[in-house]
């Protein structure tokens, strides 16, 4: 029985201050002696990094689109084990979810994968963060609409953000009282609480390091003083207890786990400032499938000794292209690794790093394409099918993934694609690149939603560790 108290921090719209409030709330609860489990609704990698700094433990995602609605409860139960309270930061507006072809005909007022959807799945109450800078008495009508739009979503309180004055606060409190919602926090306009951003949103905490810690400390102090923590904890305790069993990485890859005594293959996972995107469950599944997981920083490190397989996730290589290019031993090591038929899985930033070059800087040259940063944002969920066998995915395997980038790759028409999907207007196309050993594309997938791919990848690494190699097409850059 999972009865960990939980509260969902939502908002009427993006830009209302959810991340600042959530991070400060997590930090304030921790400072008050709570063991906090932090979560983020949706595929976002950056916000959980700040949550982790505030909580002192890993931040996790809850995304029905990437893992399926049935897995959200078990993942929440696993991620909140050992905690005495959980804070779940929402995504966009409370009811904003994936826009599907049949969304207009759906009887469910909450969009699929929305904050409201996840709140219902885990039985948690919602606290609404409102950007009050443009509100007065009409706030009551806004709140009335949110309360009545989907009665199955329990909105239990309001945090008033960007309040201008004592008089403004008084009017807003009266508006909240008219609809019966208690005010559980008031924040005045404070530019000092803004977290630096760039082209894809907030700068990841892993890149800011000491600055990120100072920013989180400031959020914790300011927001902790502005919120009614006892009221929020009391609201969290109204979460409905669920009988959902916790997700287990060992059970998820049970069919692909090695026999007892088998040699553990070494899987090197890229990290550091350039590659900050990843889900906590990935490493857990790799270990459960029998891998010895070793981290490395492509800005400085060579390929770890005895590496059998490599994972290069997402991040911001365009911000570190010169330093990545300067690490010639690693670039050469990756090219040799791939040429020898050893497995590599790369997502988004990893794809760019495996290219011949990125914005004129030489990269690993594993894939015969050129990466370029652009002004165009590509963003959205994709229902994809693998069209080439690789170390991670079998031809015909279907996944739902997510794209999020402002770059493109040029060339590669002579290479075998990794995926096929239809875009938002129904146009079919192929994407990414794959062969027997290498799978690289812009598509981010959640490993917990695709555990067979992790087991397959570790099995490929184990094959390499035993002295074999995988079939490789001639796709290296010349």
Catalytic residues: 348
Phi-psi region of 365 (alpha: psi -120 to 50; beta: other; left: phi over 0): left
Structure tokens at 91: 């995504």
User: Can you list the positions of beta strands (E) in 207-338?
Assistant: 266-270, 292-296, 309-312
Taking each helix axis from N to C end, the angle separating 210-226 and 46-55, rounded to the nearest 10 degrees, works out to 70
The residue to which tokens 């906090």 are assigned: 36
Phi-psi region of 338 (alpha: psi -120 to 50; beta: other; left: phi over 0): alpha
Q: How far is the CA of 48 from the CAs of 56, 110, 265, 445, 462, in angstroms?
A: 11, 23, 29, 17, 32
User: Can you list the positions of beta strands (E) in 334-418?
Assistant: 344-347, 357-358, 361-362, 370-386, 398-410
In contact, 275 and 442? CB cutoff 8 Å:
no
Spatial separation of the C-alpha atoms in residues 367 and 338, rounded to whole Å = 10
Spatial separation of the C-alpha atoms in residues 110 and 120, rounded to whole Å = 10
Q: How far is the CA of 387 from the CAs of 221, 349, 398, 427, 452, in angstroms?
A: 51, 21, 10, 17, 16
Q: How far is the CA of 414 from the CAs of 217, 369, 432, in angstroms?
A: 51, 10, 12
Could you tell me the sign of the dihedral formed by the alpha carbons of 264, 266, 267, 269, in that order? positive
Spatial separation of the C-alpha atoms in residues 439 and 457, rounded to whole Å = 10
In contact, 436 and 428? CB cutoff 8 Å:
no
Cα first-last separation, the chain: 57
């Amino acid at each position: 029985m999972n009865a960990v108290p939980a509260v969902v921090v939502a908002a009427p719209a993006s830009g209302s201050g959810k991340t600042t409030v959530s991070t400060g709330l997590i930090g304030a609860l921790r400072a008050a002696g709570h063991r906090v489990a932090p979560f983020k609704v949706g595929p976002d990698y950056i916000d959980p990094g700040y949550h982790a700094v505030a909580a002192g433990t890993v931040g996790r995602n809850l995304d029905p689109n990437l893992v399926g609605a049935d897995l959200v409860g078990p993942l929440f139960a696993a991620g909140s084990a050992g905690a005495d309270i959980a804070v779940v930061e929402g995504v966009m507006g409370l009811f904003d979810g994936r826009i599907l072809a049949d969304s207009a005909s759906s009887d469910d007022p909450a969009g699929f994968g929305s904050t409201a959807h996840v709140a219902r799945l885990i039985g948690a109450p919602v606290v609404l963060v409102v950007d009050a800078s443009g509100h007065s008495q009409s706030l009551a009508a806004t709140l009335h609409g949110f309360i009545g739009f989907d009665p199955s979503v329990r909105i239990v309180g309001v945090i008033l953000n960007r309040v201008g004055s004592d008089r403004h606060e008084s009017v807003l409190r009266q508006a909240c009282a008219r609809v019966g919602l208690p005010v559980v926090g008031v924040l005045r306009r404070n530019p000092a609480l803004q977290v630096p951003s760039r082209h894809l949103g907030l700068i990841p905490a892993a890149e800011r390091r000491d600055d990120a810690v100072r920013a989180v400390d400031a959020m914790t102090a300011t927001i902790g003083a502005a919120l009614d923590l006892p009221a929020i904890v009391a609201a969290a305790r109204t979460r409905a207890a669920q009988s959902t069993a916790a997700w287990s990485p060992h059970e998820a890859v049970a069919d692909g786990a090695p026999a007892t005594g088998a040699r553990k293959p070494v899987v090197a996972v890229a990290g550091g400032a350039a590659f900050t995107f990843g889900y906590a469950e990935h490493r857990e599944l790799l270990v459960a499938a029998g891998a010895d997981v070793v981290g490395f920083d492509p800005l400085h490190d060579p390929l770890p000794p005895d590496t059998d397989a490599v994972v290069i996730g997402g991040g911001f290589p365009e911000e570190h292209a010169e330093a990545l290019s300067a690490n010639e031993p690693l670039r050469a090591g990756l090219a040799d690794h791939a040429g020898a038929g050893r497995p590599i899985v790369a997502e988004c930033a990893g794809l760019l790093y495996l290219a011949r070059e990125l914005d004129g800087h030489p990269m690993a040259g594993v894939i015969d394409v050129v990466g370029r940063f652009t002004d165009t944002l590509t963003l959205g969920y994709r229902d994809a099918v693998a069209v080439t066998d690789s170390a991670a995915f079998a031809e015909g395997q279907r996944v739902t993934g997510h794209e999020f980038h402002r770059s493109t790759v040029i060339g590669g028409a002579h290479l075998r694609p990794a995926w096929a999907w239809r875009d938002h207007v129904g146009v079919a196309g192929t994407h990414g690149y794959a062969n027997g050993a290498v799978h690289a594309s812009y598509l981010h997938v959640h490993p917990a939603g695709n555990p067979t791919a992790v087991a397959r990848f570790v099995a490929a690494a184990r094959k390499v560790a035993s002295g074999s190699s995988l079939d490789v097409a001639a796709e290296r850059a010349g």
